[in-house]
Chains A and B, each alone.
Chain A
Amino acid sequence: MTDAAHPADVADLTSPQAVAERLATTGYLADDGVATAAFLAIRMRRPLLCEGEPGAGKTSLAVALAQALGLPLVRLQCHEGIDAAQALYEWDFPRQLLHLRALEAASDGALDAEEAERSLYTPRFLLARPLLRALQERCVLLVDEIDRADDEFEAFLLQLLDESAVSIPELGEVRAEQPPIVVLTSNRTRELHDALKRRCLYHWLGHPSVEREVAILRSRLPGISERLAEQVATAVRRLRDLELLKPPGVAESLDWARALLCLDGETLDAETADRTLGAVLKFREDIERARAAGLAELLAE
């Protein structure tokens, strides 16, 4: 295996550590698991399926990867009822119609039907949706919350993931010259098909350790003091142990730290924590439970 086989943007990424370093330049701090996952996804040209607690950084991994590699990010947000027209391509019918009318008017009745039909099905009337766009240029393709789409849509994704190609009946096959780096995320609202999982690398993203969370807070929020970052990370770690309905993720601890910075907080005390608890806990029951457990305890050194 030589690096020449790989496109210029990833050629010098020869180890997970190199990937982690490159990701760190965008402010995304990857641990061993994430770095190895991203490295193998690039090297083996396999899609990476990320599952994990909400707010653990699944989507932001793809965003950071695109930024780190200097590639455009093509994002497909899945939802119920998503179909090929929304995900892949669609013919621009109104424009085709206008074009036909224009041809008719220009030709004064002597319109060659064959010719006219051929001119209708050309790339200029093709509306490329995210999946087709991802095949047309080298990019990072993020298929977000795949579990929200219907089962049939997964089956439809298989050809694309397998061959980096799709077939459009009127035009023929569209094949990516340089396959996209694919990241799929799922919140596990339903189980994905084995057929899809088999084609992917699988990574489960958990909550980071306190030290890593401090590092994430400091890299994302340059104005934050080390002490405040440590306090927030420790408090959030203790909140996660409280058996809450929605344990706070990294996204929530960033929100909280941001809220505290807005209040000009240098340190976090029980009274400020009480006022800003809504930034980190989003359920009434959770807030009550945290208060019952004692905010002073939560902040104890």
Chain B
Amino acid sequence: MTTVGTPSTRSGRPDVLSGLVAFTRALSAAGLPVSMDRVTAYLEAVRSVDLAQPDALYWAGRLTLCGDPDDIALYDGVFRQWFLHQQPERPGGVRPRQPTIASLTPQPAGDGGDEGSPGDLHRVGASEAERLRHRDLGELTAEERAHLRELIALLRPRPPLRRAIRQRPARRGGLDTRRTVRAMLAAGGEPTVLLHRSRSVKPRRVVLLVDVSGSMEPYADALIRFAHALCCRIPGGVEVFTIGTRLTRITRQLRLRDPEHALAAAAKAVPDFAGGTRLGETLQAFLDRWGQRGTARSAIVVVFSDGWERGDPGLLGEQVARLKRLAFAVFWVNPHAGKDGYVPVQSGIAAALPHVDKLLAGHSLATLERLMQVMRDARRFG
């Protein structure tokens, strides 16, 4: 039943080959990037399996063309359209749990309602920059906003550090037998110097959860730019997610060096810009899919949100408590917290506050700089 590479399954025939390659094109168009070597592997896999077996074609593609659980749903969809034109149940194709949060609002144009064109920039003195540092991000004119973008791009955050397991040569610390013996070997077996090693430090992972709901809209652009500055400065050590009505990971988009490209890519990826707020559910989705697996473990987690929760505040409290147990430190940055007369009474923030290490203001550049300092100095809180 299963001769490998019988003439009927050989992809050498041009019609079959082009059909398969066209399928990979369709995948690319659907947003699943397919590189050339993946296509080669796919063709080889198709040649290796017995296509008379049900699902052999499905598995040959899924094993070679997907690289992430998120890819599988995409692949399934395109596969159904392309080969089946119907909706079969995939045996064993249990997909990772997706956040079950719908209610997408139509996507408005990208970045937080800004009309300033880069052309009308003009020189601004240091005092103006200083004044701008303390201005509320939500109340800037288009011109000030453009200037502020430059200031954010100039931020040079230093990453928070933690002790690593790995030992490095050092002036003091435990004896480094290996290097000492090697030095002895060079000296014909005479012990000449004692060399030491000690544990080094590594950047501690930082996770930023940015609320992009309607009430946060004036701040979203600046906050994502701030996240971008961190991403560029601490490559590989920062994870950024947007929360609102659904969870979106934008770390990949923010890796683009150029702030404008990165912001455009992020805006395209986030479907719920300026939508509603269901912090509890999205936070739960984050913890289930990323946080508990390791992303939040012993990381510094910063939630940027004003704490307006339309869902169940009880759930939010529960999830923040869970986050607190996983993370090294949890900071809540609220743009309104720095304003006069602010009292944390909104249902969401009231539920979350008991489990948060610090509530910080986040309405101006100065407060964001302060946040970086607090992150850098973070110690294990009680």
Give A residues with C-beta under 8 Å from B. 1, 14-18, 31-34, 36-37, 39-40, 43-44, 46, 51, 53, 79-81, 83, 93-94, 96-97, 100-101, 104, 147, 151, 187-191, 194, 197-198, 201-204, 206-209, 212, 245-246, 285
B164 within 8 A of A: yes
**Pairwise interchain contact A198-B67, C-beta atoms closer than 8 A:** yes
State whether A101 and B189 are in contact (beta carbons under 8 Å apart), knowing that A1-B5, A43-B48 are contacts in the complex: yes
- Shortest C-beta distance, B82 to chain A (Å), equals 19
Report Cα–Cα, A17/B166, bound state, in Å: 45
**Pairwise interchain contact A93-B189, C-beta atoms closer than 8 A:** no
Residues of A within 8 A of B181 (CB): 93-94, 97
Residues of A within 8 A of B184 (CB): 97
**Pairwise interchain contact A189-B38, C-beta atoms closer than 8 A:** no
Instruction: For B92, give its contact among A43, A83, A209 (CB under 8 Å).
Output: A209
**Pairwise interchain contact A198-B92, C-beta atoms closer than 8 A:** no
B96 within 8 A of A: yes
Report Cα–Cα, A101/B35, bound state, in Å: 56
State whether A100 and B69 are in contact (beta carbons under 8 Å apart), knowing that A14-B3, A189-B294 are contacts in the complex: no
State whether A40 and B294 are in contact (beta carbons under 8 Å apart), knowing that A204-B96, A207-B94 are contacts in the complex: no
Between-chain CB contacts (< 8 Å), 24 pairs? A1-B48, A15-B4, A15-B49, A17-B53, A32-B91, A33-B63, A34-B92, A36-B49, A36-B55, A36-B63, A40-B60, A43-B48, A93-B181, A97-B185, A100-B188, A189-B293, A197-B67, A198-B37, A201-B63, A202-B62, A202-B63, A203-B63, A204-B95, A212-B92
Instruction: For A198, give its contact among B38, B44, B96, B294 (CB under 8 Å).
Output: B38
Instruction: For A189, give its contact among B60, B63, B96, B297 (CB under 8 Å).
Output: B297
**Pairwise interchain contact A15-B50, C-beta atoms closer than 8 A:** yes
**Pairwise interchain contact A40-B55, C-beta atoms closer than 8 A:** no
Report Cα–Cα, A198/B35, bound state, in Å: 8
Residues of B within 8 A of A36 (CB): 49, 55-56, 59-60, 63
State whether A206 and B164 are in contact (beta carbons under 8 Å apart), knowing that A15-B50, A32-B59, A40-B45 are contacts in the complex: no
Interface string of B54-93 (1 = CB under 8 A from A): 0110011011101111001000000000000000000111
Residues of A within 8 A of B59 (CB): 16, 32-33, 36-37
Residues of A within 8 A of B3 (CB): 14
Report Cα–Cα, A151/B237, bound state, in Å: 11
Which residue from chain B places its CB closest to the CB of A37 in the assembled complex? B63
Which 6 pairs from chain A and chain B are nearest by CB? Answer: A189-B294, A206-B94, A81-B166, A15-B2, A36-B59, A31-B92
State whether A32 and B294 are in contact (beta carbons under 8 Å apart), knowing that A1-B5, A40-B49, A44-B45 are contacts in the complex: no
B41 within 8 A of A: yes
Report Cα–Cα, A151/B235, bound state, in Å: 11
**Pairwise interchain contact A96-B185, C-beta atoms closer than 8 A:** yes
Residues of B within 8 A of A245 (CB): 292, 322
State whether A32 and B48 are in contact (beta carbons under 8 Å apart), knowing that A15-B2, A81-B164, A246-B292 are contacts in the complex: no
**Pairwise interchain contact A40-B63, C-beta atoms closer than 8 A:** yes
Instruction: For A33, give its contact among B48, B50, B93 (CB under 8 Å).
Output: B93
State whether A189 and B295 are in contact (beta carbons under 8 Å apart), knowing that A36-B56, A202-B66 are contacts in the complex: yes
B236 within 8 A of A: yes
**Pairwise interchain contact B49-A39, C-beta atoms closer than 8 A:** yes
Which residue from chain B places its CB closest to the CB of A147 in the assembled complex? B294
Report Cα–Cα, A40/B50, bound state, in Å: 11
Q: Which of B44, B64, B94, B294 has the most CB of A within 10 A?
A: B94
Interface string of B305-346 (1 = CB under 8 A from A): 000000000000000001000000000000000000000000
- Shortest C-beta distance, B84 to chain A (Å), equals 16
Residues of B within 8 A of A201 (CB): 41, 45, 63-64
Instruction: For B53, give its contact among A15, A93, A246 (CB under 8 Å).
Output: A15
**Pairwise interchain contact A15-B1, C-beta atoms closer than 8 A:** yes
**Pairwise interchain contact A93-B182, C-beta atoms closer than 8 A:** yes
**Pairwise interchain contact A80-B166, C-beta atoms closer than 8 A:** yes
Residues of A within 8 A of B44 (CB): 44
